[in-house]
Amino acid sequence: MQTILQELEARRDVARLGGGQRRIDSQHAKGKLTARERIEVLLDEGSFEEFDMFKAHRCTEFGMEKNQHPGDGVVTGWGTINGRMVYVYSQDFTVFGGSLSETHAEKICKVQKMAVRNGAPIIGISDSGGARIQEGVASLAGYADVFQNNVLASGVVPQISVIMGPCAGGAVYSPAMTDFIFMVRDSSYMFVTGPDVVKTVTNEQVTAEELGGAKTHTSKSSVADAAFENDMEALMEVRRLVDFLPLNNREKPPVRPFFDEVSRAESSLDSLVPENPNTPYDMKELITKLADEGDFYEIQADYAKNILTGFVRMEGSTVGVVANQPMVLAGCLDIDSSRKAARFVRFCDAFEIPILTLVDVPGFLPGTSQEYGGVIKHGAKLLFAYGEATVPKVTVITRKAYGGAYDVMSSKHLRGDFNYAWPTAEIAVMGAKGAVEILYRSELGDPEKIAERVADYEKRFANPFVAAERGFIDEVIMPKNTRVRVCRAFASLRGKKLENPWKKHDNIPL
């Protein structure tokens, strides 16, 4: 018996070494943690339960039968983050460069299916050279199996991808179908075709970092949601994100202890909106002053900065926030911001996370590049997302809400539950100057008359009371009392029940 137990421990020691000490040292020399070290940082201490530690590949081509490593380049299992269960897989670059084989894929698929069956998030840590060439189509089939499980898990359990090394070719499509993607600066990259292929086909000279590095995907392509300085920081931020999310689509978001007064008044908000309607202000200030303890977990902070998305807690409960940012493009909606916000709204709706919308939007960004790029259809994505959402929706209009953009930003007409406005709100088809130039075109030669008309229009329409008279605004509130009004609104909506008509699935304007 003792011999058998010693053999088990010896086998485990070999499996834990992955590709061997030399390759582990090489990984550390690049400033990267190993697959197992990443799991240890991510999960609560001592909570990891591993699956398939001894699983090995079955390939006999190219002498592969003589080169086997237990675990076959990926560590899989489950554990807890702050006591809540998650499933995890972590690719091991020390074994065949983390390349995906048939058995490697089987291990990933196993934890994906268990996550869906048991209703827990799945976190995938990517550090892989791609498909294992020696296995040919078997490795490609493995990728497709992983993709299919990503699709089936979508909207059922939260899926988080952490890119901590190379992720190229077919490997990129699994993270692309997950809910959140985090990257590590200077050590991770994603692309469908690498720099060498790009040079051969298009004659473009580009580095891996320029083509698919963290900066590219967080600020230009919107593929990734955030980038961090190193493995440790990225994994700690994943832990923080998981704390905001429900375990699955049948559970409510977690409620945490909070140490903030619900009735807290913020007098500084009474002067947040400048007197000059064209002067910007920082909408993040409002978000942090509404949130419990001022904690705002921003998503896609470096992309489409004219709109803000992220999570806060109100009375300890998770709330998704979508807010126009007047500091960038005057808060206009455009192609990028519409896509960013629509995806976030749909995630919140899929996982029963209430949505708070803060509005200061002068309209959609004009221009040929926007029209040629399909701003109509991209703007419709956000409209569609808000319209189909059945979660509690609270909207606060702080200043401008003009034209179609007013409708799109969770208006009462898209089944908004509570729609508040500050006294500084201007709800109209367009700004006073533009409206007067259309209504009184014949008087454009008389500046005094036009100024008089603009003042009259502002007096009549540049306020929230016309909308309030129609019932499109539930209440005009004092800015300093916004936190208590929003908290009470969400509290009253905890039992909300709303269902859309039966359908196989919708056809959002992609």
Residues annotated catalytic, as ranges: 169-170, 404-405
Q: Is 505 exposed, middle or buried (0-12, 13-18, 19+ CB in 10 A)?
A: exposed
| Helix or strand (DSSP H, E) at 170 | none
Cα–Cα distance, 37 to 89 (Å, whole number): 12
Pairing of strands 166-168, 189-191: parallel
Chain centroid, CA 408 distance in Å: 20
Instruction: Please count the helices (runs of H) and the strands (runs of E) in the chain.
Output: 19, 17
Residues 6 or more apart whose CB falls under 8 angstroms from that of 397 comprise 359, 360, 419, 420, 421, 422, 425, 427, 464, 473
DSSP SS3 for 309: strand
**Closest listed residue to residue 269, CA positions, set 431, 416, 402, 399:** 399
What is the side-by-side order of every strand in the sheet holding 49-51? 49-51, 74-81, 84-91, 122-126, 159-163, 180-184, 226-228
The encoded tokens of residue 48 equal 């990891």
| Helix or strand (DSSP H, E) at 420 | strand 418-421
| Helix or strand (DSSP H, E) at 80 | strand 74-81
Residue 82 has a CB neighbour count (10 Å cut-off) of: 12
The encoded tokens of residue 45 equal 């201490």
Strands of 247-405 (E only): list them. Answer: 297-299, 307-314, 317-324, 355-361, 393-402
Give the residue ranges of DSSP H helices in 333-395: 335-350, 368-372, 375-388
Cα–Cα distance, 458 to 436 (Å, whole number): 10
